[in-house]
Amino acid sequence: MFQIGGFALRWYGFLIASAVIIGLNLCQWLGQKRGINPDLFNDLVIWLVVAAIPSARLYYVAFEWPRYAQHWLNIFAIWQGGIAIHGALIGGTIAILVFSRYHQLSFWNLLDVLTPAVILGQAIGRWGNFFNSEAFGAPTNLPWKLYIPFANRPPNLTSYAYFHPTFLYESVWNLGIFAILIALFFYGLRNPEKIKTGTITCVYLIGYSLGRVWIEGLRLDSLMLGPLRIAQVVSITLVLLGTAGIVWLYLLQKNLPDWSERKLVKN
């Protein structure tokens, strides 16, 4: 992005920081409407950053280990790209579980406040792929095609200059899911008997993951385990979990099992 002396501000770092700041403010606003002390999110954001960013990187490195086995110091070069949202979700969920237990908050109520901010942060963060010329799709001549510099093209596709901007597809998709989650959130405030605690989280899991299954199929740099695209396998699993949650809430008419022993937040 720019450099002053020995300090360089990278687009990835700028976008992640922007997503965190915007997400924090959004969570404080939404949390207050759900009866959660906004100051708690100042602590929670530290927990999430400490847990989510390293886990996102380690998840990526685990499936790309041959690239790092002989150059393990590159594991720490996160500004070069190479983080996986599913790794961040794993680390972040663990942090939220522990945080909700420690503060005796409703885990699902907290997640319902966080997920709109998470999907908005994902929409912002995807633009890091644009600035790093990564996470693009197959060659295309569509009007919205993306130019990829020669050095960033796959070795077998160097004769092609334009590719599907899959980062853009996912960013726009995520913004659409964000709009749906916000609409559900405020509808639930007006009609609490119709939108049960945990619904927003389940809709996030289903909505984001369906888009990821589609978009991942277009990408050329998917993390692989044998013939399987890892992101698609995980996304399908999350769709099933989200669907099971909706069935549990609305067909079985039961509350989702909560982590906290005692609720300080009334739902």
The predicted-structure confidence for 219-243, as pLDDT tens digits, reads as follows: 998 888 888 999 999 999 999 999 9
**Considering the entire predicted model, what is its pTM?**
0.89
| Residues in the chain where the model's pLDDT stays below 50 | 261, 263-267
Q: Residue 126: helix, strand or coil by DSSP?
A: coil
- Identify the pLDDT of residue 1: 59
Distance, in Å, from the CA atom of 96 to the CA atom of 105, rounded to the nearest integer, reads 10
E-strand ranges in 96-185 read: 146-147, 162-163
Distance, in Å, from the CA atom of 95 to the CA atom of 201, rounded to the nearest integer, reads 16
- Measured in residues, the chain has a length of 267
Task: Identify the CA nearest to 71 among candidates 61, 83, 60, 84.
Answer: 61
Distance, in Å, from the CA atom of 35 to the CA atom of 43, rounded to the nearest integer, reads 17
The predicted-structure confidence for 136-157, as pLDDT tens digits, reads as follows: 999 999 999 999 999 999 999 9
